[in-house]
Structure 1
Amino acid sequence: MYQTNSLQEKAKQFTYILIPILITQLGLFSMNFFDTIMSGQYSTADLAGVAIGSSLWAPVFTGLTGILLSITPIVAQLIGAKKNKEVPFTVIQGVYVAIIMALIIVCVGFFILDPILNAMNIEDEVRRIARNYLIALSLGIVPLFVYNVLRSFIDALGFTRVSMLITLLSLPINVAFNYVLIFGKLGLPALGGVGAGVASAITYWLIALISIYIVHTKKPFKDYNLFNRLYGIALSKWKEILIIGIPIGFSIFFETSIFSAVTIFMSTFSTEIVAAHQAAINFSSFLYMIPLSISMALTIVVGFEVGGKRMKDAMQYSWMGISAAVIVSVLLGIALLFLREQVASIYANDPVVIDLAVQFLFFAVLFTLSDAIQAPVQGALRGYKDVNITFLMTLISYWVIGLPSGWVLSNYTALEYFGYWVGLIAGLTAGAATLSVRLILLQKKQLKIKTVQR
């Protein structure tokens, strides 16, 4: 990554960083995407079971790995400030934090998984599939969290193509294991949706091991000598990682958990409705990978410019990324509006599920624009290490506005289960508006401080 002097140079560097991130995110998401559609092809109960399991796992995973995303702005600012010698110590402390968090979540899950599933009004077979899917998935949590730290380090250096290649190597392996384990090929028993969990755990180990090999043996990563010495635990560095990371993690958790909460609330409806809802959520999440990738790229480039105290450049990158996200998401939303039936048919064979999914996808189109704004804005704010106010804004937007309004609309209007989706739209829109205001005020403040210093 290098300092740029014009909008054209910024666009070129931003695109160079963004495209591999996007491919990486699409690749990682495709694991869940193939889990869902391949389980749906096995049976509706397996689709619903994986839907429930994914809904419980997604906010935990994204929230905790969001904490580890603090490595990206920390390292990016160290590089921007030319403090390269501090990088390996920071990354290894992040690995320690990742391992501890992974072990804690496995232990907590051991005690609370059954009570949560037993409290849900779902069919016994769906409950069994969801439980065993999550147990299988838990076997890969430690390497998955370690991978996320190493990926943050790789991306912060601007070598996002390396993360892309790791993901592209692992994706076909994941699909192959899905096929063998879900449908019972090569003499193995057919595990259905549970097989998808086993396949994902195997894949998580592979991407962690590949990442460790690359970081240890390939330039420029090996120049940082991450694994050449054993660093002691430094609680002061853990504190820095967590002070920045916890608000990021909670912000992401509040956003993703509202979707999971909606799925759990909707478990009171039929298995067909749960399956159709999950299909629509899964595909809209697929489209969300674009603004999310732009968000991650913005954290890198904005963090680099802020570290070098180039506030005008940081502002230009911010609005370049937000504009790109809005344009692309609008175009994709229009396309989805006309292709809803074809998309729904990917997920299920049941005509009832397909018809319901088509209706849910209409609402998915409506919140693509809000997603296209709020995700990149959050990424830019993280580049500034501005995370605490963002955390409060997401809490209010999603859990004070979004979920309660959805519950009211679902239970007290004719919208029924569609009411939850209207609530999601309201929460995302509120988040997009408030976060945008926060970014504008922060940038004005930073430019004013820079002017005074001159």
Structure 2
Amino acid sequence: MFETSSKLEKLKLFAIVMWPILVTQVGLYMMNFIDTTMSGQAGAEDLAGVAIGSSLWVPILTGITGILLALTPILAQKIGAQKTEDISFYLMQGMTLALFISALVFIAGLLFLEPILAFMSLEENVAYIAKHYLIGLAVGMIPLFVYNVLRGFIDSLGQTKTNMFITLLALPVNALFNYLLIFGAFGFPELGGIGAGYATAITYWFIFIVTILVIHRVPPFSIYRVFREKIRISFGAWKEILLLGTPIGLTIFFETSIFSAVTLLMSQFSTEIIAAHQAAINFASLLYMVPISFAFTLTIAVGYEVGAKRMVDAKQYTNIGILLSIATGLIACVIIYVTRGPVATLYTNDPSVAYLIQQFLLYAIFFQLSDAINTPIQGVLRGYKDVNVPFIMALVSFWIIGLPLGYVLATYTQLGPYGYWVGLIAGLAVCATFLYVRLGIIQRRVAKIVYE
């Protein structure tokens, strides 16, 4: 990032920073997309098993990633304030914290995975696939969490193309090992959906190793001498990261876990409905990578300007990001409507499952715009380090309004499983409204403090 003097310069810089983030996000999500589509070609039970496994894993992954995202605004503001001597220290603390969190997640998996799957009363083979898919993913958990810390460091320097190139290198690795392990090609074991978990874990290790090498050897990252920092734990720094990151992580967790909770509640329906629901969510989530990329870019840009006490510039970046996100949200609505037929065939060869996927995708159209508003606003508020109130807003919107409404509609109306999607739409719309109001309050408050 660097200081700009006009809206046009800001638009150009915003685009330069964002498009590699978008490619990176899409690339990272494509691993899950490839897991799901290739598992679906192996059979409906494989698709359902991977769907259940993903529904348990994704909230944990995104929630912990959200905690570690605290480093991005911290580092962006340090760079904006020209306190570069603190960068290496905070980065090392982030990595040690990521290792500690990985250990906690591993222990939680040992204790709770079996009881959760038993509670869902799944078909035996679906539960088996879900369990062992998650075991495969766990092999790559540590490198994934530490990579997210390193990625925040790279992004905070505005060097977003680096993460993009690393992700693009990883995609063929992921596709290759999915093919080998799902279908048993070239003498590899035929694991079905379970193989997707191990393939993705291998890819996480690949990304981690490449990122380590880049930061260690390539300027401008190498000048910070990150891995030459003496390894020591600072609980004060952990506390600072957790105080900022925990609300971020919980906010993202509450938003993503409602989709997972719906998948778990849908275990009362048939394997075909579970598979179709997850396939539709999977495709809609691919398009969600656009607003979340706006959010990450806005956190960097706004954090940089706030650190330099240029509040007018921070507000201009905010307006640019939100307007562009809404425009792309409208385009996403059109894409879903037009391509829902061909998309369904990507996930399954079963005509009944394909029909259900298309029906779910029609509902997915309606929450694209809400995502296009609330997600970038969350990114802006993180740039201001305002995270506690958005966390409460997410909790109320998704778990007190959205999920109960969805349950009532799914259980007591003719909507059936589609009732849960109506609840999702309502929760997202309420959250978008809350966050928009909160943004105005924060902008006025910060401007008053700076200019007094």
Q: TM-score, normalised by structure 1?
A: 0.99
For residues 101-153 of structure 1, the C-alpha deviation after alignment (integer angstroms, 9 at most, x for no partner) is 01110111011100000111210000000000000110100000000000000
Amino acid paired to 1:148: N
Counterpart position of 1:292: 292
Q: Deviations over 1:16-40 (max 9, x none)?
A: 0100000000000000000000000
> Is it true that 1:250 corresponds to 2:242 in the alignment?
no
2:93 partner SS: helix
Q: Match of 1:137?
A: 137
Q: Does 1:446 align with 2:437?
A: no
Partner of residue 279, structure 2: 279
The residue that corresponds to 1:261 in the other structure is: 261
The answer to whether structure 1 residue 172 and structure 2 residue 160 are counterparts is no
Once the two structures are TM-superposed, the CA of residue 451 in structure 1 deviates from its matched residue by 2.5
The alpha carbon displacement at 1:8 in A equals 0.5
Report deviation, 1:160: 0.4
Instruction: Determine the structure 2 residue equivalent to 1:40.
Output: 40
| Per-residue deviation, 1:282 | 0.2
1:222 & 1:164 partners in 2: Cα distance?
A: 18
Rounded to whole Å, the distance in 1 between the matches of 2:74 and 2:335 is 38
Alignment of 1:181-196 (within 5 A): 181-196=181-196
Partner Cα distance (2:232, 2:189) in 1: 45
Deviations 1:379-415 (A, max 9, x none): 0000000000010000000000110000000001111
Residue identity opposite 1:106 in structure 2: F
Equivalent in the alignment of 1:107: 107
CA distance in 2, matches of 1:68, 1:361: 32
Which position in structure 1 is the counterpart of 2:19? 19
SS at match of 1:158: coil
Q: What is the aligned partner in structure 1 of residue 433 from structure 2?
A: 433
Give the structure 2 partner of residue 361 of structure 1: 361
**2:403 and 2:95 mapped to 1: Cα distance?**
34
Q: Distance in 1 between matches of 2:348 and 2:207?
A: 30
1:64 aligns with 2:87: no
* C-alpha contact 1:73 1:156 (8 A) present in aligned 2: yes
Aligned to 1:331: 331
- Give the alignment of 1:341-360 within 5 angstroms: 341-360=341-360
Match of 1:124 in 2: 124
Give 2:8's aligned residue: 8
| Aligned-residue offset at 1:229 | 2.9
**Residue 314 of structure 1 corresponds to which residue in structure 2?**
314
- Deviation (angstroms), 1:449: 2.1
Query: d(CA) in 1 for partners of 2:339 and 2:186?
Result: 36
- C-alpha distance in 2 between matches for 1:318 and 1:91: 27
Q: Using the alignment, how far apart are the partners of 1:353 and 1:448 within structure 2?
A: 56
In 1, Cα distance between the equivalents of 2:429 and 2:121?
A: 30
Partner residue in 2 for 1:82: 82
What's the CA shift string for 1:415-436, capped at 9, x where partnerless?
1100000000000000000001
Identity %: 54
d(CA) in 2 for partners of 1:63 and 1:339? 31
3-state SS, counterpart of residue 149 of structure 1: helix
CA distance in 1, matches of 2:443, 2:433: 16
Amino acid of the structure 1 residue aligned with 2:9: E
SS of equivalent to 1:367: helix
Aligned equivalents of 1:437, 1:231: Cα separation in 2: 43
Are the aligned partners of 2:71 and 2:153 in contact in 1 as well (CA < 8 Å)?
yes
Deviating more after overlay: 359-368 vs 339-348: 339-348
Displacement after TM superposition at 1:354 (Å) = 0.5
Find the aligned partners of 1:120 and 1:375 in 2 and give their Cα distance. Answer: 31
Distance 2:83 2:188 in 1: 52
| Contact kept in structure 1, 2:88 and 2:229, CA below 8 Å | no
CA RMSD of aligned residues (A): 0.6
Equivalence for 1:73: 73
Cα distance between partner residues in 1 of 2:382 and 2:229? 30
The alpha carbon displacement at 1:450 in A equals: 2.4
CA contact (8 A) 1:393 1:434 kept: yes
Match of 2:424 in 1: 424
Unaligned runs of 5+ in 2: none
Q: Retained in 2: the 8 A contact 1:272–1:353? A: yes
TM-aligned CA deviation for residue 346 of structure 1: 1.0
Matched-pair contact (CA < 8 Å) for 2:62–2:253: yes
8 A contact 1:22–1:289 mirrored in 2: yes
3-state SS of paired residue (2:186): coil
Counterpart in the other structure of 2:98: 98
Does structure 1 conserve the Cα–Cα contact (< 8 Å) formed by 2:181 and 2:196? Answer: yes
TM-score, structure 2 normalization:
0.99
Cα deviation, 1:339-395, whole Å, max 9, x if unaligned, reads 211111111110000000110000000100000000000000000000000100000
Deviations 1:285-331, CA, capped at 9 Å, x for gaps: 00100000000000000000000001111111011101101001101
CA distance in structure 1 between the partners assigned to 2:335 and 2:85 by the alignment:
48
Aligned to 1:413: 413
What is the SS of the residue equivalent to 1:414?
Answer: coil
Equivalent residue pairs, number: 452
**CA distance in structure 1 between the partners assigned to 2:355 and 2:182 by the alignment:** 25
Give yes or no for contact 1:89–1:231 (8 Å, CA) kept in 2: no
Name the aligned partner's letter for residue 284 of structure 2.
S
